[in-house]
Amino acid sequence: MAPYVSHDNPTGLYRTTFNVPMENLQGRRVHLVFHAVGSAVMVWVDGQYVGYSQDSMTAAEFDITDALIGSQQAADKRGTSATAALLSEQHLPDRTEHVLVAMVPSWCDGSYLEDQDQWWLFGIHREVELHFVPEACRIADYQTRTFFNEDDDGILHVQCQLTGTAASNKVLKVTLYGEGSEILAAARATAPTKTGSTDDGPGWCVEAELRVPGVRKWSAEDPFLYTLQLELTEASDTSIQAERLRIGFRTVAIVDGQLCVNDRPIVVAGANVHEMHPTRGKAITTDDMLKDIEMLKRGNFNAVRNSHYPHHPRWYELCDEHGLYVVDEANIETHGFVENLAISLLACDQAWRQQFLHRFFNMFQRAKNHTCVIVWSLGNESGWGPNFAVGVESLHRWDPQQRPVQYEGATCGSDAVIFFGDGQGASSDIICPMYWSPPMILPPAASRARPVILCEYSHALGNSNGSLHSYWELFWSSAPEHRSIQGGFVWEWADGAVKVHKAQILDPNVKGKHQREAWLEGEYAYGGDFGKESGRQDRNFIVDGILFPDRTPHPAYQDFKRLQQPVEFQLKSQEGCSEGLLVRVNVKNRYTFRDLGHLSFSALAYDALGEKCPCTIRGDADMRGISPGESRELEVVMKTASPELQQCGQWLLLQACQTDGSQLIPEKFVIADVCFTVAAPKSETSKQPAGGMLCSGSLPPLLHMPAAGPATLERSGDKSVIKSATYTARFQGGTLTSLCGTDGLELLAKPGLQHHFTRATTDNDRCGTDFFVPWLIKVPLVRHFLDCYGFLSLAASWKIVGLDRLTASVTACEWSSSAEGPKLRVRENFSANGQLLLETCFEYVFEAHRVVVSVTVTPIGPLTGLATLPRVGVGLALSAKLSTMTWLGCGPGESYPDRKVASDWAVHKGDVDAQHVDYIVPSENGGKADVHWAAFTDRSFGHGLMLTYSCGDGEAQQDKPEDAASEKRPACTRGAQLSASRWTQEELERNSHRHKLPARQALSSRPVNVHLDTAHAGVGGVGEGGSRLWATANQFLVSPGHGSWTYSFTLKPIVSDSWLRSETC
């Protein structure tokens, strides 16, 4: 039963010396402050014990005045300082030098309240300071409250607590300064009211109120701060003490079921932020904090949740200054009790009440005067009980600003829970669940009684963050039934991996003399990499941010940025004009408080070769008059491409850029952008779909090839050679062994087109109960139970049916002739565990200038019972020289069926090696969604191979936030899923760390491994509650229970003269 502290308790001892001249003690008290030390600290000054503190993430403060005076008096009697006795009798003549000793145990009873998902790092994390305060009378504390009167003047109310024996005749000057040093308002309070006794003597209360006409209100969009000065003086005006605070005028309230700042409902674009640095752990600096705030602001985030403890004092100052809404959270998490089905145990135990209240008060006391703090949080994943109920009541009583209080650990019934809460507890002012999918949010929002703001959503474990767009459709929605849905906080901000600075590190899986494994200097390690007791069970579960540890972004960061952008673009119409094409776009201001005058708008046209050309914006592009919620139409004139290029498509890119640079966001930084298809590509066939937009089969930007004779077939035994005017193909049996163009360049690095049904598993694929307790899947009954209730990982379900060890057998290989040219049909079956799982067919047609490959895949037997397949597609290995990739599809970054909002559907070009995303745990990565064609060439528009894709399964279902059934292709799939990498799928799968991937120093000599999939499952992370936070939305699964997949693609060798030429500009 808690509390039990193990005798195996590693303990740190810190010792340092400091100087305090005797004259500095005259009329002053000296307070020693540890801003964060964990798990607890015992302190001695000059050998005298001065106190103990726990709550590792708020300040521990000790009055050490008596210890300092006592040691100096003892030194006077001995003729030497007390330091000498503590430093092995070393003679130190300076009698003002003192010794500070801190003993820091790893564990204490408070550790039961600090079970956060993070590295458990112990020691002194933040600064240690000496504070000198007046002794006879001083400002002990103060609280501020801002509000607005009927004339919209700003009112600042200050309540100041004085302590000391001589406070009754003192004067408190309250002065408010503006942007410069001008005084905007001032008051003198001269009649303190006695409030009772404190540890420092009698207590007194002084109140003052200032009025500021025409006040500039603070918000995350306009974080304007004033300077408040409190000066305590004698009646003669002699200064005793002065305190300064940067303060903003703002109000926070819940009005009609919506969280409002300054009486306007806000949309929360938030992130959960841990204090963690890859080399310094919890010892973060101001530069570290500024880097996080810079990336938050550049990504259009406006809020942070301090997960899961109060953060560094400087953090709040910076959030005040740069504009971030803060949910401040008490240092409480007890989710370790989940394993005993007793997560609420401590919350229900009255013996722990004071520890709970101590932490609530520490959080409140530290941040109560910071404008950025708009919500208090009682903690994280700690169940529910009376100790939390008392905390809610206390925070409402303590806080004169009456900020809302939230807590996710309770349920709508407000009873103690045995697992996790649902964020609907009656005591929570905000419904704040974690990992609810969009359909799960809708019912509690229907009552419109309380705001619904997800305290955690979109778990960012590796290649993740699928279905973000579904959330943001609700967050931005103006529909009455969605008005209370106001945003959320992504989990989490940055990967929690630790950078390794040693050349070698212990590998717990290897015994004997080979137990040490070489690492690359500066690479990242995670749970289990430092021995069995270093989080081996959790492995990489805290490597779950949208930034890497060095704060470079994951691809998903760009999706957050675009979805959260404060400008909405809508294509209204387009028509021909004398200059080319006139495009009308509706621009809507999604800010809450400011207009769009700080943004400049520009436009670029893209043709099918990816070439850019500036466009002209007609009329007035000044957006200063566009108030929040209002719209204006922009008219953009763009030149059209040549008729040959125009039929391959044309695109318009609009950007809204910062006009004036700031400390964190430079001038011309893109705040919001969008890409529109203004000329849809034509089909390679004469058939054009309704609406003009193709799902596949778009024309690539190649010259029309003149008529040529048909391809010819030569056979000798099981070897076949097909020759045409533009290519030569060789087969052995049913395997393509060679493909060359007219220049003789071998395009294939390895023989064969291969069916592929697996991928290098993502972290979400591997997540399930078996991720944490792998042995469970070895017990058939347990495995069946987990599978039935959705707690078995997808990767485990795939292994059970044998998807990772399929055996192929060719059942037919038949040559024939057709009007288009020679034809080859290859039928192949795939089996595992003695059962037939898949029947497939490749049909090759060798036309004069290209090879057309039609594919049919039919799932059979146990495979049809799976929730999803990872992929259905083909793979081929291309020559290492074909390192330039040009494609029509989503790009330029990584995209998947359920995460592609930030990837513009247009023509993109890049180096194959640049497409790899170096996730710390290797996995499927670098994909491109909705690809219609892709060329792999030896240089930009050079020699190589053109792939074009066509789907035979019809249009995929539409996506929507509500529940949807899975089908054989993910929702809104508009082409193939494409990826290209120097590493094989098997290499990505078997290596647990990215530094273990082979041949990093010789990548350019390795083949280019291309995957072209007609169906590819989403990356997931949408969640179905806290117990299945890795889930993929049903509509983005690849269901094998809906019959066969049919698709086709072409292989066309090309040379540099094959390409059309751009004439747009």
The three state secondary structure string of 50-91 is EEEEECCCCCEEEECHHHHHHHHHHHHHHCCCCHHHHCCCCC
CA distance 736 to 754: 10
Is the distance from CB of 709 to CB of 846 less than 8 angstroms? no
In the predicted structure, residue 93 carries a pLDDT above the cut 90: no
Domains of the chain, earliest start first = 11-134 (2.60.120.260), 137-247 (2.60.40.10), 265-490 (3.20.20.80), 498-539 (no CATH), 565-679 (2.60.40.10), 719-1058 (2.70.98.10)
CA distance 737 to 714: 15
Q: Which structure tokens are listed for 265?
A: 């409902």
CA distance 972 to 292: 34
pLDDT of residue 686: 47
* Mean pLDDT along residues 870-894: 97
pLDDT tens figures, 343-370: 899 999 999 999 999 999 999 999 999 9
Where on the phi/psi map is residue 551: left (φ > 0), alpha (ψ -120 to 50), or beta?
A: left
**Which residues does residue 306 pair with via DSSP β-bridges, in sequence order?**
273
Q: Which amino acid is at 222?
A: D
Residue 848 φ then ψ, to 5° = -65, -35
DSSP string, 969-1003: S-TT--SEEEEEESS-HHHHHH-SSGGGSTTGGGG
| Band of pLDDT at residue 152, cut at 50, 70 and 90 | very high
Closest CA to 898 of 220, 438, 414: 438
Is the distance from CB of 154 to CB of 211 less than 8 angstroms? yes
pLDDT tens figures, 370-421: 999 999 999 999 999 999 999 999 999 999 999 999 999 888 876 777 777 8
Average pLDDT, the chain: 90
Residue 394 φ then ψ, to 5° = -65, -45
* Mean pLDDT along residues 1023-1029: 80
pLDDT tens figures, 748-760: 999 989 999 999 9
Q: Which residues, 6 or more positions from 125, have their beta carbon under 8 angstroms from its beta carbon?
A: 35, 36, 37, 38, 56, 57, 275, 281, 282, 283
Alpha helices in 173-312 (DSSP H): 286-298
In the predicted structure, residue 252 carries a pLDDT above the cut 70: yes
Percent of the chain whose pLDDT exceeds 90: 73
| Band of pLDDT at residue 538, cut at 50, 70 and 90 | confident
Q: What is the enclosing helix (H) or strand (E) of 574? A: strand 567-577
CA distance 616 to 1045: 45
Is the distance from CB of 907 to CB of 745 less than 8 angstroms? no
In the predicted structure, residue 705 carries a pLDDT above the cut 90: no
Q: Which structure tokens are listed for 948?
A: 């074009």
pLDDT of residue 200: 65
Q: What CA–CA distances, in Å, run from 368 to 354, 602, 744?
A: 20, 43, 74
In the predicted structure, residue 505 carries a pLDDT above the cut 70: no
CA distance 913 to 1005: 11
| Band of pLDDT at residue 1052, cut at 50, 70 and 90 | very high
DSSP string, 224-244: --EEEEEEEE-TT--EEEEEE
pLDDT tens figures, 935-979: 999 988 899 999 999 997 876 777 765 667 789 999 999 999 999
Where on the phi/psi map is residue 463: left (φ > 0), alpha (ψ -120 to 50), or beta?
A: beta
Collapsed DSSP state (helix, strand, coil) of residue 273:
strand
Of residues 201 and 447, more confidently modeled: 447
pLDDT tens figures, 987-1004: 999 999 998 999 888 899
pLDDT of residue 520: 61
Closest CA to 479 of 445, 513, 434, 455: 445
* Mean pLDDT along residues 692-696: 56
pLDDT tens figures, 629-643: 999 999 999 998 888
Is the distance from CB of 518 to CB of 525 less than 8 angstroms? no
Which of 259-273, 435-449, 1021-1035 has the least mean pLDDT?
A: 1021-1035
Chain centroid, CA 491 distance in Å? 6
| Band of pLDDT at residue 83, cut at 50, 70 and 90 | very low
CA distance 264 to 243: 32
pLDDT tens figures, 768-821: 888 887 777 778 877 777 777 778 899 999 999 999 999 999 999 999 999 999
Torsion of CA 1015, 1019, 1022, 1024, to 10 degrees: 80
CA distance 672 to 594: 15
Three-class secondary structure assignment of 532-551: CCCCCCCCCCCCCCCECCCC
| Band of pLDDT at residue 80, cut at 50, 70 and 90 | very low
**Which residues does residue 52 pair with via DSSP β-bridges, in sequence order?**
42
CA distance 986 to 981: 12
Q: Which structure tokens are listed for 789?
A: 């209730």
Q: What is the enclosing helix (H) or strand (E) of 302? A: none
* Mean pLDDT along residues 121-125: 95
Is the distance from CB of 568 to CB of 308 less than 8 angstroms? no
Closest CA to 210 of 282, 156, 166: 156
pLDDT of residue 773: 78
Q: What CA–CA distances, in Å, run from 190 to 161, 206, 240, 653?
A: 13, 8, 14, 63
In the predicted structure, residue 528 carries a pLDDT above the cut 80: yes
pLDDT of residue 692: 43
Is the distance from CB of 303 to CB of 455 less than 8 angstroms? no
Closest CA to 266 of 321, 324, 336, 307: 324
Three-class secondary structure assignment of 581-642: EEEEEEEEECCCCCCCCCEEEEEEEEECCCCEEECEEECCCCCCCCCCCCEEEEEEEECCCC
Note the pTM of the prediction, 2 decimals. 0.94
In the predicted structure, residue 688 carries a pLDDT above the cut 80: no
| Band of pLDDT at residue 81, cut at 50, 70 and 90 | very low
In the predicted structure, residue 456 carries a pLDDT above the cut 90: yes
pLDDT of residue 85: 45
CA distance 679 to 585: 15
pLDDT of residue 690: 43
| Band of pLDDT at residue 718, cut at 50, 70 and 90 | very high
Closest CA to 680 of 582, 559, 574: 574
Of residues 626 and 338, more confidently modeled: 626
Of residues 775 and 218, more confidently modeled: 218
pLDDT of residue 71: 72
